Amino acid sequence: MKRWMSFILHLAMIVILTSFGSYTVTKKSDGKVPDSLKVKTNMETVVLQDAIIDSEDVTIEPPFLGNEFNGFKEALAFKESQGRYSAINTLGYLGKYQFGLSTLSLMGVYDANSFLNDPVLQEKTFETNIARNKWILRRDIKRFNGKRIRGIEITESGILASAHLAGAGNVKKFLRTYGKYDVADAYGSNISYYMRKFAGYDISNIEQKRNAKV
Instruction: Please name the helix (run of DSSP H) or strand (run of DSSP E) that holds residue 197, with its range, or none.
Output: helix 191-197
Position 198 scores a pLDDT of: 97
Burial of residue 25, with CB atoms counted within 10 A of its CB: 0-12 exposed, 13-18 middle, 19 or more buried: exposed
> pLDDT-based confidence at 192, cuts 50/70/90?
very high
Structure confidence at residue 77 (pLDDT): 97
Phi and psi at 43, nearest 5°, equal -65, -35
* pTM given for the model: 0.70
Asked whether residue 20 carries a pLDDT value surpassing 60, the answer given is no
Lowest model confidence (mean pLDDT) among 28-42, 73-87, 163-177: 28-42
